[in-house]
Amino acid sequence: MSNVDEVVDLIEEKSREAKARFEKTEARFKELEKDINEIEKKAGRPNFGDATAPTAKHETFFDVKTKRSVPVLSHAQSLKSLEEKSSADTPSIGRLLRGIVLGSRADDANELSEERKSLGISSDVSGGYAVSGGLSAQWIDTLRASMVLSRAGCRTIPMDTGTLSLARIIDDPTISFHAENATLGTGDPTFGAVNLSAKTVVCLVRLSLELSQDSANIQQILESTITQTMAAAIDRAGLVGTSTDAALAPGGVFNLADRNTVTSVGSPTSWDFLVDGVYELAADNVDMANIGAFVAHPAVWKKMRKLKSGITNDNTPLTMPAEIAALPKLWTTSAPLTGGTTCSGIIADWRDLIFGVRKDINVRILSEAFMGSNLQVAILAYARIDFAATRQQSFCTLEGITV
């Protein structure tokens, strides 16, 4: 064999070895990607990064008005996964917000203009942009990721129209044993209807023209500020509604007429108030395994975290009963705190709370309103949402907690 043949054989051998190493590495990357997806599911977080990633099959309800099936999503399921497969290079929400704010002044204005067209972001004569399709789903999923109520277990229904009717349980069925030929007993109606009617939640962000043009992280700031602020407002409406123009916002769980209550808790020295709440739900036939997160203001966490065992000179933190320890505890300033001293919390089978959201997000740039007075631009973003409880007895408010 000539030296040339030996060199060729050596090159081919090394090529085969390199190919084998590449295939092994690629297989390992796929295994790691699969492991990461599983970890995300177990952690209860929506998989926002990849709309094509496999997710658990969602539930469906049937809308009797439109005669169509309606998807029902848990927190771990993303709205984006319902949309058509999106391009891997879809820009972030923040990047498009920056492009909308800066317009032709953006260094990538032409590219962003084409992306807005391809993503179905349409403009109108009043300076607004309607964000729909996959990007709107991405935005809503980002909102849901920040929402405490979604993390607690509230389920999401995308709304194609402004209203959606759902069935709800008013009273548990009346059960009796029947004697031969005897008249069947009658009971109260078991089912009723509850309507989701989209309410408009609005976020206004103002920033200086210089900041919008010169800040390297402006797109991240815009995205996080708008989504987190809107998420907090939506949580607050879902929990307590609003005191001003109450009819314009969701009513809130604390306003459910048939909810369970534990009132006048006072200054707790133990976890008994939560035990009482679990009992109220269990007594209303809520499976204890389905009783979900305790949601309250961080002031409750501070109060309870400082409680000690009660033994003289023992600073060991107060031990929770096993069932209470197993309950997730979610702290949010959207939960009630009155006068800095009195809180209210809630536990529930959160699957019986439905979060309805219209699938279009609207963004308007209000440059003229503020530019002339103080050289500012403003972003006005709004979404249309509502909450509905399909079984009011699945909720228990814990009220009058002195902190």
Q: Give the pLDDT of residue 243.
A: 78
Fold of 259-350+394-402: hypothetical protein PF0899 fold (3.30.2320)
Residue 256 DSSP label: -
Average pLDDT over residues 264-276: 96
| E strand or H helix at 166 | strand 163-169
* Percentage of the chain exceeding pLDDT 90: 35
CA pair distance 119, 87, nearest whole angstrom: 10
Quick: pLDDT tens for 159-174.
888 888 877 766 667 7
Residues of the chain with CATH 3.30.2320: 259-350+394-402
* Residue 82, token pair as written in the block: 């319902």
Strand partners, 203: 381
Tell me which of 304 and 368 has the higher pLDDT: 304
User: How many C-beta neighbours within 10 Å does residue 377 have?
Assistant: 23
Quick: pLDDT tens for 55-69.
457 788 766 667 677
Q: Please report, for residues 51, 61, 67, 384, 388, the alpha-carbon distance to residue 163 in angstroms, rounded to integers and kept in the order given.
A: 27, 14, 14, 11, 12
Fold of 60-171+187-250+354-389: Major capsid protein gp5 fold (3.30.2400)
For 105, residues 6+ apart whose C-beta sits below 8 A from its C-beta are: 213
In a 13 Å sphere around the CA of 149, the CA atoms on its Cβ side amount to 30
Q: Beta strand 353-358 with 342-348: parallel, antiparallel or unpaired?
A: unpaired
Q: Give the pLDDT of residue 57.
A: 72
Structure confidence at residue 43 as a pLDDT band (50, 70, 90): very low
Q: Give the pLDDT of residue 211.
A: 72
CA pair distance 63, 167, nearest whole angstrom: 10
Q: Contact 340/298 with Cβ under 8 angstroms? A: no
Q: Give the pLDDT of residue 112.
A: 62
For 337, residues 6+ apart whose C-beta sits below 8 A from its C-beta are: 297, 299, 343, 403
Average pLDDT over residues 301-313: 88
Helix (H, G, I), strand (E, B) or coil at 201: strand
Strand partners, 168: 192
Q: Contact 85/205 with Cβ under 8 angstroms? A: no
CA pair distance 23, 19, nearest whole angstrom: 6
Which residue, chain included where needed, has tokens 């060199």? Answer: 7
For 40, residues 6+ apart whose C-beta sits below 8 A from its C-beta are: 47, 76
Quick: pLDDT tens for 73-88.
888 888 777 765 444 4
Rg (CA), the chain: 27
3-state helix, strand, coil in the chain (%, to 5): 40, 25, 35
Q: Give the pLDDT of residue 67.
A: 66
Quick: pLDDT tens for 1-38.
566 677 667 777 877 887 788 788 777 777 776 666 55
Q: Give the pLDDT of residue 115.
A: 60
Q: Give the pLDDT of residue 51.
A: 41
User: Which is nearest to 141 in space by CA: 216, 197, 223, 198?
Assistant: 223
Query: C-alpha angle with apex 247: 245 to 248, nearest 5 degrees?
Result: 70
Quick: pLDDT tens for 155-211.
999 888 888 887 776 666 777 777 887 877 666 556 677 789 999 999 888 887 777
* Residue 90, token pair as written in the block: 């879809």
